[in-house]
Structure formats: structure tokens, C-alpha cells
Amino acid sequence: MTTVQPVLTPCIGVCTLDPAGFCDGCFRTGDEIADWLSMSKTERLYMMDVVLPAREARLAAGLPLQDASA
């Protein structure tokens, strides 16, 4: 019998992109959301442990995120 492992995701079900192109819930870009399932586990963990917390910290400090389309 094969055991299916769930895909680790930062999604919290908000799923709304802000004007700069970042999700209001998980801070991923639309492209990152679309590519999530094709990323390796290592890539997803890096995003969740490094990239997304840094984005959240910038927002908490009142700093803008760079436009996701740039």
C-alpha cells in the first residue's frame, strides 16, 4: 500500500493577492502559488523558513514589498 504524503504549504485560506501581487495570507506571489506543487520539498521549506517570514517581517515593520511582477 502506498502512503500519500500531504504537500507542505503556507496557505491559510485567505487567497487574495494585494496590488503588488503578494497573497495577503501567505505572502507568496501568484507565480509562487502556481509553481508550488512543482517545487522540491527543499525549495518549499526554504520558502517557508526564509523567504516568506522575511516578507512578513517587512510588512510588520511597515516596509513595502517589492512589486511581484518586477
* Whole-angstrom distance, CA of residue 10 vs CA of residue 26: 6
- Whether the pLDDT of residue 69 is over 80: the answer is no
- Whether the pLDDT of residue 45 is over 70: the answer is yes
pTM, whole model, 2 decimals? 0.84
Q: What integer pLDDT is reported at residue 66 of this predicted model?
A: 79
Average pLDDT over residues 13-26: 93
CA atoms within 13 A on the CB side of 36: 17
- Whether the pLDDT of residue 46 is over 90: the answer is yes
